[in-house]
């Protein structure tokens, strides 16, 4: 969990959260905690804002000034998925991965 001490540190943390491939958790001055995907931010202007898709649904706009802390709490969705990993795997492992991904897609009705 990161607690920015200055507006510059906060802006930097928001940029990192914007680039992150998973959910983040914000704690606001009100004590509210929001878990979700930070998909946009407007860091310039008189009242910098960030936009999130909370995991429970809807859209939230949060003023930078209201943020107390940011945690990179969700899984990095690209982690462990590299091309090298895929090619280097044994044939049996590749097939197992492919079957897993296929069965996940099938479970959702996408195959």
Partner 1 sequence: MAVPLSQMFTVSKYVLTQQLKGVKRYPLVLMLEPLFRCNLACAGCGKIQYPDHVLDKHLTPEQCWAAADECGAPIVSIPGGEPLIHPRMAEIVRGLVERKKYVYVCTNAILLERKLDEYTPSKYLTFSIHMDGSRDEHDLAVCRDGVYDVATKAIKEALRRGHRVTTNSTLFDDANPERVRKFFDEMMELGVEGMMISPGYSYQKAPDQKHFLKRNKTRELFAKILGNRRRGWRFNQSPLFLEFLMGRRDYQCTPWGNPTYNVFGWQKPCYLLQEGYAKTFREMMDTTAWDQYGTGRNEKCADCMVHCGYEASAVADTFGSLSGFGRTVKITLSPNAR
Tokens, residue 80: 């462990």
Nearer to partner 1, 9 or 102 (CB): 102
CB of 60 to partner 1, least distance (A): 13
d(CA 54, CA 17): 14
Give the count of beta carbons closer than 10 Å to the beta carbon of residue 85. Answer: 12
CB of 36 to partner 1, least distance (A): 8
Burial of 109 (0-12, 13-18, 19+ CB in 10 A): exposed
d(CA 45, CA 37): 23
Nearer to partner 1, 32 or 42 (CB): 42
CB of 3 to partner 1, least distance (A): 23
Tokens, residue 84: 């090298």
Nearer to partner 1, 31 or 90 (CB): 90
CB of 13 to partner 1, least distance (A): 16
Nearer to partner 1, 29 or 40 (CB): 40
Interface with partner 1 (CB under 8 A): 19, 21-23, 36-37, 39-42, 51, 53, 55, 57, 74-75, 77-79, 81-84, 86-87, 95, 97-98, 101-102, 105, 108, 110-111
Q: Is-contact 37 23, C-beta < 8 A?
A: yes
């Amino acid at each position: 969990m990161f607690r920015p001490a200055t507006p510059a540190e906060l802006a930097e943390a928001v940029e990192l959260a914007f680039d992150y491939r998973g959910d983040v958790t914000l704690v606001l001055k009100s004590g509210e905690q929001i878990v979700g995907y930070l998909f946009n931010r407007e860091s310039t202007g008189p009242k910098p804002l960030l936009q999130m898709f909370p995991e429970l649904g809807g859209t939230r706009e949060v003023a930078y000034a209201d943020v107390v802390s940011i945690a990179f709490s969700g899984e990095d969705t690209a982690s462990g998925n590299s091309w090298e990993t895929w090619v280097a795997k044994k044939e049996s492992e590749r097939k197992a991965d492919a079957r897993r991904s296929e069965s996940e897609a099938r479970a959702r009705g996408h195959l």
